[in-house]
Structure 1
């Protein structure tokens, strides 16, 4: 990292993963930066309202300002308001967790959610909202990769990492060859479907959302729940509803200029 801006952004991105706060020394060690330099950056960020120090020698935490900027930006696109009823309907139909992920360059970001499970086991990962989806192990990521050529998919996986930093399920792909086999199956089926991959005990399915006017891929919609309940048979029964939701989300994106101006880098193909 060369510029002060790059260093400040790296500090903010690190602190996003530490919602309870962290000391200057931990940030400096993780980012391989001098403690004095990190301290100066944090003081600048504090003056700008992005971080807060609990007391004079305490840990630093992010304020709500960064989150409010992101939410304000998403709100201005108009898409989240239009997409929420569609997510709610799919959650009601599936009785499981439904999530919307939008493309941002080489990444998929979870930005929308609806919970359909009302009793018993529930998969409800609130901490993952706003986070980057792991492409190789998550259902949404696998669907996204399947819409690319193998070469493009491998490049993105190598950039992000085949394995998650947090523990994945035992069925997560362990090699590029295994992942490519999974992607070939998704292309034939038209949607992804996995169990015990992203997390142990969780199953999920997903498909790509295409903007209705441009046919550009803009994200994914997924259904996730406990693998004991969301079995392969249940997921196959949900496939039509999932695809219909993806089509509705693509139609809803017509109302947002954002999706005609911001197109993902990879040249994605249309899944069946």
Structure 2
């Protein structure tokens, strides 16, 4: 185990390592033992234990009683959702999602951009019987194999899209769906199809039992891509034909969501600053 660098021992270093622990645990919903976390962030186990103890005290992490692993609590997710609600994001978009969910009879989700990530922030469940896909908000989209990820990638150059996919990593067929793209060539082919249609149709790429259709959301003010909207459901119900029928409904919803953006924000030192762009 490498020794902790002296410059990392101060407050800035402690903060960075604490945030790194949160980021790692966010990708392991089942939790991780503290020694694996120590190895992942390359600091002594004693230091890792102290950081975890502080996170437990503040309610961000809990220790599993049966296995001893450390797991994130819902506090992080609740803070994120509280922020979004405070800016009116979920309230403004929800009627659009609810209507589309009723029309489609499936799960509808919206994801917004966060630097080079796509985060699901709101949903509406339209399925009333049978199989239902009902994930939690706050998840990050897998760009290579989710309909939302591919919809976003279709708005940029192939070069930029592949760079983002390779940075995040390809979703394996074992972990995701049997049709998950595994090469840059396969990604490019799907992006070409998406650009022609205006939306992405995926069949068993993200999950063995799930199909989905998604489209990018663009601001009506300047055309910026601000997020995506998707419809997902069991492949036995959400067939290719059905997804093509949903496509125009999805595109109409993207226009409505794109119009929710208020005027651009002026410099912060000017009075009368309007509400931030809800998809910024």
Same fold per TM (> 0.5)? yes
Counterpart in 1 of 2:72?
62
Counterpart in 1 of 2:60?
50
Q: CA RMSD in A?
A: 2.4
Counterpart in 2 of 1:141?
149
Counterpart in 1 of 2:277?
259
Counterpart in 2 of 1:185?
193
1:250 corresponds, among 229, 241, 258, to 258
Residues in 2 aligned to 1:182 and 1:165: alpha-carbon distance in whole angstroms: 16
Task: Compute the TM-score of the two structures, normalised by the length of structure 1.
Answer: 0.86
1:154 aligns with 2:144: no
Counterpart in 2 of 1:223?
231
3-state DSSP of counterpart to 2:261: helix
Residues in 2 aligned to 1:54 and 1:208: alpha-carbon distance in whole angstroms: 39
Task: Compute the TM-score of the two structures, normalised by the length of structure 2.
Answer: 0.84
Deviation at 1:17, TM superposition (A): 4.1
The answer as to whether partners of 1:214 and 1:260 remain within 8 angstroms in 2 is no
The answer as to whether partners of 2:214 and 2:250 remain within 8 angstroms in 1 is yes
Residues in 1 aligned to 2:85 and 2:99: alpha-carbon distance in whole angstroms: 20
The range that moved more, 185-194 or 3-12, is 3-12
Deviation at 1:245, TM superposition (A): 0.8
3-state DSSP of counterpart to 1:141: helix
Deviation at 1:249, TM superposition (A): 0.9
Deviation at 1:173, TM superposition (A): 0.9
3-state DSSP of counterpart to 2:251: helix
Aligned pairs, number: 259
User: What do the CA deviations read for 1:1-60 (whole angstroms, capped 9, x no partner)?
Assistant: 9522221111112233455654322422444432111111112323444334578x9554
Deviation at 1:214, TM superposition (A): 2.4
Task: After the TM superposition, list the runs of 4 or more consecutive aligned residues in structure 1 that deviate by more than 6 angstroms.
Answer: none
Residues in 2 aligned to 1:69 and 1:224: alpha-carbon distance in whole angstroms: 26
3-state DSSP of counterpart to 2:231: strand
1:38 aligns with 2:54: no
User: Which structure features the higher share of helix residues?
Assistant: 1
Larger Rg: 2
Q: What are structure 2's unaligned runs of at least 5 residues?
A: 264-273
The answer as to whether partners of 1:218 and 1:259 remain within 8 angstroms in 2 is no
Counterpart in 2 of 1:174?
182
Larger RCO: Structure 1 or Structure 2 (Cα < 8 Å, ≥ 6 residues apart)?
1
3-state DSSP of counterpart to 1:198: strand
Counterpart in 2 of 1:4?
14
3-state DSSP of counterpart to 1:196: strand
User: What do the CA deviations read for 1:202-230 (whole angstroms, capped 9, x no partner)?
Assistant: 10000001122222111000000011111
